[in-house]
Chains A and B, each alone.
Chain A
Amino acid sequence: MRESRWTGFAFLLLLLGLWEVAGRHGWVHKLFFPPASRILASFVQIVFSGEVLGHVGASLWRAGFGYLLAALLAITLGVLMGYWRAVYEAFEVVVELLRAVPPPAVIPVAIVFLGVGDQMKIFIILFSCAFPILVNTMDGVRGVDPVLIRTARTFGLGQGPLIWKVVLPAASPLIMTGLRIALAIALILVVISEMVGATSGIGYFILDAQRSFRIPQMYAGMLVLALLGYGLNRCFLLADARLMAWHKGLTARQR
């Protein structure tokens, strides 16, 4: 594990070195592929001057707000659909249809109704994050063992406490899967939505750098995005490992 990680870093350094040499010797287009050192310098500059931080903040705010809203709505609806057949039957067709729409195709519609501001962006993120969470929550709830539910009932739990104390925790491993998939989608969609009529956000920053031929900054922006995505995913995995330790242990035991 440790060892393989070092090999990974070594390979990354090798690639960076190759890029550097290629950039300096003009093997690739000098303007479009600036050497790695210039990109790094640009990265340091935009981070430490604080220039990019405001953009990162704007993106995080939109992505976070849309993501949390999606989680709240999708988990609620997913539990209802997974638990009550009638709710499932009512919503199934609508959900399946909406789910089939690639989220970027919703952007024009969202612009018509919400304009090009934050509302539209948050809506797009909400829309695209909701489905993986919804579908996984639904599957998770359906998969809860009937014995568990009947046990809760024989202990006198009403519907509310039963869902809160038994159904949700029992379905939580799949809900977490949905949330993890949605996290990646939130990042993708925040960048896409910020390339449409925005004046802030990391997506806007990258597009703006490209349009004004600040090519090293464009790459530096991508580097910021990569680190952001990596960091968020790490945080998620850490939280997951803590919260779902029981599930890891359980599945390891069942194997």
Chain B
Amino acid sequence: MLEVRDLRKEFQPLSGSTVVALASVSFRVAAGQFVSIVGPSGCGKSTLLQCIAGLSRPTAGHVLLHGREVTGPPEGLILLFQEYNKSLMAWRSVLKNVRFGLENRPGMSRNQIDAEARRYLELVGLEGFEAHYPWELSGGMQQRVAIARALVRRPEVLLMDEPFGSLDALTRIELEDALLRLWESLQATIVFVTHDIEEAVYLSDEVYVLSRRPCQVIEEIAVKLERPRNQLTTREDPRFIQARHHIFELISKEMSRA
């Protein structure tokens, strides 16, 4: 359903030579899959997501959603930015931030939007914080607001850029499981960028490993672990450990490549 074909993205800095962020990236994501993308930092993961989201024009190559070329932000696809705190509207309360996700949806009354926003706030565990401003909340809670705002639209495809990268370990575990539950109930397709190999294996059906810049997919690893996943037993499963081991080797080899 989502296909990235020979995607290339060059940046022309004001001074200096051309930066090739993406050399030639290709992959496919089937509907309803949870796919993670891991790669060294600065390799072009955020650039890749912005191209998929139609926010940045690739230099060459194509992004196809349901076989149609993406040329601008497509309906039914939401990108959650790495800088989630900057993506929230500081002048809106938590509830109104989540409402924003539906305000331009035609044919919904104010009351319907309100009810949906409250429901999703509850789903991410933020009931009682409706009237707060985002900047009054902790990082983890802000990320929950951003997630609720995206999910309230029930996107077919959700692109997430290192969403839990700056959170403490406990919050992270909690949000990983919350995300998996929501993903299962919404039957969305998720492309999840992370620099955490364990997180990628724990969450995904498939992990795509990227090379250093100029970036391309080195390997696609299928994760054949049962769902629902469990923070203890899944992580102790030999197949989990094996997958982690393999990806870790790939990336260390990549990092040490001259």
Residues of chain B contacted by A157 (CB below 8 angstroms): 104
Instruction: Find out whether the CB atom of B104 lies under 8 angstroms from the CB atom of A156.
Output: yes
Those of B122-148 within 8 Å (CB) of chain A: 133, 135-136
Q: Is A119 an interface residue (CB 8 A)?
A: no
Residues of chain A contacted by B136 (CB below 8 angstroms): 249, 253
Contact with B along A139-166 (1 / 0, CB 8 A): 0000001011011011111000100011
CA distance A169 to B103 in the complex (A): 16
Number of A-B contacts (CB under 8 A): 57
Instruction: Find out whether the CB atom of A150 lies under 8 angstroms from the CB atom of B83.
Output: no
CA distance A253 to B132 in the complex (A): 14
Task: Report the minimum CB–CB distance from A109 to chain B (whole Å).
Answer: 41
Task: Report the minimum CB–CB distance from A251 to chain B (whole Å).
Answer: 9
Q: Is B89 an interface residue (CB 8 A)?
A: yes
Q: Is A172 an interface residue (CB 8 A)?
A: yes
Are A145 and B77 also in contact (CB < 8 A) when A153-B55, A246-B133, A249-B135 are? no
Instruction: Find out whether the CB atom of B75 lies under 8 angstroms from the CB atom of A156.
Output: yes
Q: Is A247 an interface residue (CB 8 A)?
A: yes
Given B78, B90, B103, which contacts A246 in the complex, CB threshold below 8 Å?
B90
Size category of the binding interface on chain A: 20 to 34
Residues of chain A contacted by B78 (CB below 8 angstroms): 154-155
CA distance A111 to B87 in the complex (A): 50
Instruction: Find out whether the CB atom of A156 lies under 8 angstroms from the CB atom of B73.
Output: yes
Given B79, B86, B90, which contacts A154 in the complex, CB threshold below 8 Å?
B79
Residues of chain A contacted by B100 (CB below 8 angstroms): 155, 165
Those of A164-180 within 8 Å (CB) of chain B: 165-166, 169-170, 172
Task: Report the minimum CB–CB distance from B91 to chain A (whole Å).
Answer: 5
Chain A interface mostly: helix
Q: Is A100 an interface residue (CB 8 A)?
A: no
Instruction: Find out whether the CB atom of A170 lies under 8 angstroms from the CB atom of B91.
Output: yes
Q: Is A250 an interface residue (CB 8 A)?
A: yes
Instruction: Find out whether the CB atom of A172 lies under 8 angstroms from the CB atom of B91.
Output: yes
Which residue in chain B gives the minimum CB-CB distance to A244? Answer: B91
Given B77, B81, B91, B135, which contacts A147 in the complex, CB threshold below 8 Å?
B81
CA distance A75 to B87 in the complex (A): 24
Those of B47-79 within 8 Å (CB) of chain A: 50, 53, 55, 73, 75, 77-79
CA distance A170 to B50 in the complex (A): 22
Residues of chain A contacted by B89 (CB below 8 angstroms): 148, 166, 169-170
Residues of chain B contacted by A151 (CB below 8 angstroms): 79, 81, 87
Q: Is B101 an interface residue (CB 8 A)?
A: yes
Instruction: Find out whether the CB atom of B91 lies under 8 angstroms from the CB atom of A246.
Output: yes
Given B53, B81, B86, B91, which contacts A169 in the complex, CB threshold below 8 Å?
B91
Most buried by B among A155, A169, A250: A155
Instruction: Find out whether the CB atom of A150 lies under 8 angstroms from the CB atom of B55.
Output: yes
Instruction: Find out whether the CB atom of B55 lies under 8 angstroms from the CB atom of A253.
Output: no
Task: Report the minimum CB–CB distance from A254 to chain B (whole Å).
Answer: 8
CA distance A25 to B246 in the complex (A): 99
Number of interface residues of B (CB under 8 A): 23
Q: Is B153 an interface residue (CB 8 A)?
A: yes
Instruction: Find out whether the CB atom of A250 lies under 8 angstroms from the CB atom of B133.
Output: yes
Are A148 and B86 also in contact (CB < 8 A) when A154-B77, A250-B133 are? yes
Contact with A along B94-111 (1 / 0, CB 8 A): 000000110110000000
Most buried by A among B86, B89, B90: B90
Residues of chain A contacted by B90 (CB below 8 angstroms): 170, 246-247, 250
CA distance A134 to B121 in the complex (A): 39
Residues of chain B contacted by A166 (CB below 8 angstroms): 89
Which residue in chain A gives the minimum CB-CB distance to B146? Answer: A151
Residues of chain B contacted by A148 (CB below 8 angstroms): 86-87, 89
Instruction: Find out whether the CB atom of A147 lies under 8 angstroms from the CB atom of B86.
Output: yes
Task: Report the minimum CB–CB distance from B99 to chain A (whole Å).
Answer: 11
Are A145 and B101 also in contact (CB < 8 A) when A153-B73, A170-B91, A246-B91 are? no
Supplied contacts A156-B104, A170-B91, 14 more A-B pairs, CB within 8 Å? A145-B83, A147-B86, A148-B86, A150-B55, A151-B81, A154-B73, A155-B78, A155-B100, A156-B73, A166-B89, A246-B91, A249-B135, A250-B133, A253-B135
Q: Which residues from chain B sit less than 8 Å from chain A, CB to CB?
A: 50, 53, 55, 73, 75, 77-79, 81, 83, 86-87, 89-91, 100-101, 103-104, 133, 135-136, 153
16 sample A-B contacts, Cβ–Cβ < 8 Å, listed by A number? A147-B81, A148-B86, A151-B79, A151-B81, A153-B73, A154-B53, A155-B104, A161-B104, A165-B100, A169-B91, A170-B90, A246-B90, A250-B135, A253-B135, A253-B136, A254-B135
